[in-house]
Amino acid sequence: MTDLEKTFNDADPFAETPVNVPAEPYAETPVEIIPAAPAETPADIYAGSQVELPPLPEQVRTEPDTQTVAAAVQTFDQAAVTAESVEDYKEHIRQLKREYRKTKKAEKRARQNAAVVKSKPRIGLTVFISILSTLLCMALICALLLYFPTKESSLFATLLKKYNASNTGYSRTQPSGTHVGDDEIAPGSQITINVDGEGNTTVAYAKAVPSVVAIMTVQVSGAAWENPTETGLSQGAGVVVSEDGEILTNFHVIDSIVDRSTGAIGKNYKVYVYFDSSLVEPYEVVSLLGYDEDFDLALIKVDRTGLTPIEFADSDKLSIGEKVIAIGSPGGIEFMNSVCDGVISGLKRSIVSSSSDIVLYDMIQMTAPINPGNSGGAVVNSEGKLVGISVIKVVAENYENMSFAISSNTASRIIDSFRKYGKYVKPVLGVTIDTRYDWKAAKDNNWSQGAYVEDVSAGSSADEAGVKKQDIICAIEGIEVLDFATLRTELLKFAPGDTITLRVYRPSDDKFYDLKVTLKAS
């Protein structure tokens, strides 16, 4: 390769040989094609930036002829022209480099502009969605304000009212003029206020308290003409159950003054009933209508009419967790008509009395803190209806918030018996139950669970119906019987003379039988 070609190639950044550069798509005008290198010239014409002439013959060195000199001059001129062409070529290469950089910059700007143009629709869509969301939220708020225009009927006020109701127990709406809600009420008209299941303690108390009394027993000492003295013995509470003076209380409240031989209040003893917490004008009990030690209930009567009897609720419909209120005289009659509340924590409990070995059935367990003096008082629901009679004596001293009440349904049946027989006449089957038979024994023998009949009394209701020894009573009137306690609880819901259906399992033949039994009195 000649020195001239090497010079050309050093000036060309693209290839060892000249390259034809295509026109760039972003150039405004087509890019000129790189010119070919100048024609090959004699060697060493660029050496040292000086031109060396060809050597002259020896014979003409001293005096060169005119022709030779002219040829040399022409050769020098051609070399000069060639040198100028090389400089132009280098300048053109530099110009192409500048154009190439401009083209790349223009291409980059074009890509950036294209990206900006492409992103503009997305930005616009985002802005549109944001504006639309804001408008929808504003429209929803306006709709709520239009739908609930007043403070009283606004959504917030409704929630606040519910919150207040849950804390106070009820909510009260003040009538505007003669209107209550959507109804027009004439002046002087009587209206009924319905209280929901979470009703107000105040309302329930106000309804029940006129039917709750305080009771005190006294012993009379000295002759009638000597201004006898009275010594207090026991105090408790009671519930009015009739307009003409019938009052239900716990038997243990009057136990110490009852003459067992006559079934009446003993001589030299009195029972006073207080209808007002002022403790003035007590009424003396005139008769003992009946009592039952097993169920710790007694029915007494005072000579007074126009009383407000308490309203009974169906205790079979109670639910665990339901609110109850106990009204009585905790600590004595000076605290008459005190109130405490709690919830039902158990149903159909069977417990042993703390004063005897008697088992009480169908008891209500509750958290209302019953204290001495509450005995015989009312346990009412949130509507002020009687669900039970407080029984403080069965509560162990080592337990807190654990008290019991005789269910209202049991009390109602016993009251009816007191009025009819002067005592509680219980229905009996005439069977002896083996209380050792339980679910484990039933499982081990692959028998039905229930009350295992150990013996049947001759001539009893069960005997006449066909009940046999070793039968297992599984149900009464369709209600499942699991053990002796369940059997007794369900049996006591009936009265002597009632006909019931017993379902029994007979292991001897592995069959079930439905037997009709007419109950007899105890």
- Answer yes or no: 448 catalytic: no
CA distance 214 to 377: 8
- Answer yes or no: 471 catalytic: no
Q: Please tell me which residue in 211, 234, 296, 408 is annotated as part of the active site.
A: 296
- Is there a contact between 292 and 423 (Cβ–Cβ < 8 Å)? yes
The total number of residues written for the chain in this structure: 522
Q: Please tell me which residue in 315, 338, 345, 375 is annotated as part of the active site.
A: 375
CA distance 46 to 53: 12
CA distance 364 to 391: 10
- Is there a contact between 391 and 375 (Cβ–Cβ < 8 Å)? yes
Q: For the chain, what is the radius of gyration of the CA atoms?
A: 57
CA distance 170 to 332: 31
Task: Using the Cα atoms of residue 211, residue 216, residue 217 and residue 220 in order, give the sign of their dihedral.
Answer: negative
Task: State phi, psi for 131 to the nearest 5 degrees.
Answer: -65, -40
- Answer yes or no: 375 catalytic: yes
Buried b / exposed e along 237-259 (16+ C-beta atoms within 10 A): bbbbbbeebbbbbbbbbbbebbe
CA distance 43 to 137: 89
CA distance 441 to 436: 8
Copy the structure tokens of residue 141: 């708020």
Buried b / exposed e along 115-132 (16+ C-beta atoms within 10 A): eeeeeeeeeeeeeeeeee
Of 294, 265, 367, nearest in space to 326 by CA:
367
CA distance 318 to 391: 18
CA distance 393 to 378: 15
Of 276, 382, 280, nearest in space to 329 by CA:
276
CA distance 44 to 163: 110
CA distance 152 to 169: 19
Task: State phi, psi for 377 to the nearest 5 degrees.
Answer: -75, 175
Task: Using the Cα atoms of residue 346, residue 348, residue 350 and residue 353 in order, give the sign of their dihedral.
Answer: positive
By annotation, the residues acting in catalysis are: 252, 296, 375
